[in-house]
Amino acid sequence: MIADAEGAEAILELAAQDPDLMTKSHIIFIPKGTNYTQALRDLKPAQFYEGPSYEAAVQRIRHVLAEAKMGLQVYLTGTEGLMGQAQNEAMQAGIPHSAIQTEHRGSVARRMQCVHCKGITEDVITDPFVCSHCGLNLFVRDHYSRRLAAYQGVCIDAEDPGNVPEPQELYT
């Protein structure tokens, strides 16, 4: 089970339905400022890891997936960015798509890739937004790349520099 932020709520609900599930579960949790760590530890999972960020936890995730036995089920819950990145890791490790379950919880902020500089900006909540890498004003497209686990952002003022509409909060 891999979760971030409010994704912990989904794991807590699963444990309430089937407490024995925790004896076989390995939980990898990224709190993102939430206070669910102790509640998850109290479930007494077979293994528990808390990481400060997805980037810090990715080596642990890769190791767990590399050591997985046949029949492994992967449960991803939390933000879109976490689920997309972890699903990509699982599929690269040979876990079939049918063995991966996802449940979105918490923020719907988007993970965006600038199609111009290829930089990734996490937790985008406005449209348009400024690329954190190259500074271009980007339009949030609904095109999602499973390979990158990110939506695509395209320069909004390429033909008329400076003509950028007021950002609107779309994803909270």
Based on the fold, state whether residues 60 and 122 are members of the same structural domain: no
CATH of the domain at 70: 3.40.50.80
Contacts of 150 (CB under 8 A, 6+ apart): 81, 84, 110, 111, 112, 113, 120, 144
Q: How does pLDDT run across 129-164, given as a tens digit for each residue?
A: 999 999 999 999 999 998 899 999 999 999 999 999
**What does the alpha-carbon distance between residue 72 and residue 114 come to, in Å, rounded to a whole number?**
34
What phi and psi, each to the nearest 5 degrees, are found at residue 14? -60, -45
118 burial level (CB within 10 Å; 0-12, 13-18, 19+):
exposed
Based on the fold, state whether residues 47 and 90 are members of the same structural domain: yes
pLDDT of residue 117: 98
| Confidence grade of residue 120 (pLDDT, cut at 50, 70, 90) | very high
pLDDT at 110 exceeding the cut of 80: yes
Tell me which of 76, 104, 132 is where a domain ends: 104
Q: What is the pTM of this model?
A: 0.86
Based on the fold, state whether residues 11 and 49 are members of the same structural domain: yes
Q: What is the mean pLDDT of the chain?
A: 95
The least confident of 60-64, 74-78, 105-109, 155-159 is 105-109
**Structure tokens, 16:** 């309430």
pLDDT of residue 107: 87
pLDDT at 171 exceeding the cut of 80: no
pLDDT of residue 172: 59
Based on the fold, state whether residues 25 and 90 are members of the same structural domain: yes
**What does the alpha-carbon distance between residue 56 and residue 25 come to, in Å, rounded to a whole number?**
20
Domain extent at residue 31: 2-104
Q: How does pLDDT run across 12-23, given as a tens digit for each residue?
A: 999 999 989 999
Based on the fold, state whether residues 69 and 83 are members of the same structural domain: yes
pLDDT of residue 7: 97
Contacts of 11 (CB under 8 A, 6+ apart): 1, 3, 27, 40, 43, 75, 77
Based on the fold, state whether residues 21 and 82 are members of the same structural domain: yes
Give which of 117, 143, 118, 139 is closest to 130, Cα–Cα.
139
| Confidence grade of residue 40 (pLDDT, cut at 50, 70, 90) | very high
Q: How many helices (H) and strands (E) does the chain have?
A: 4, 12
Based on the fold, state whether residues 96 and 163 are members of the same structural domain: no
Once rounded to an integer, what is the mean pLDDT over residues 96-101? 93
> What domain count does the chain have?
2
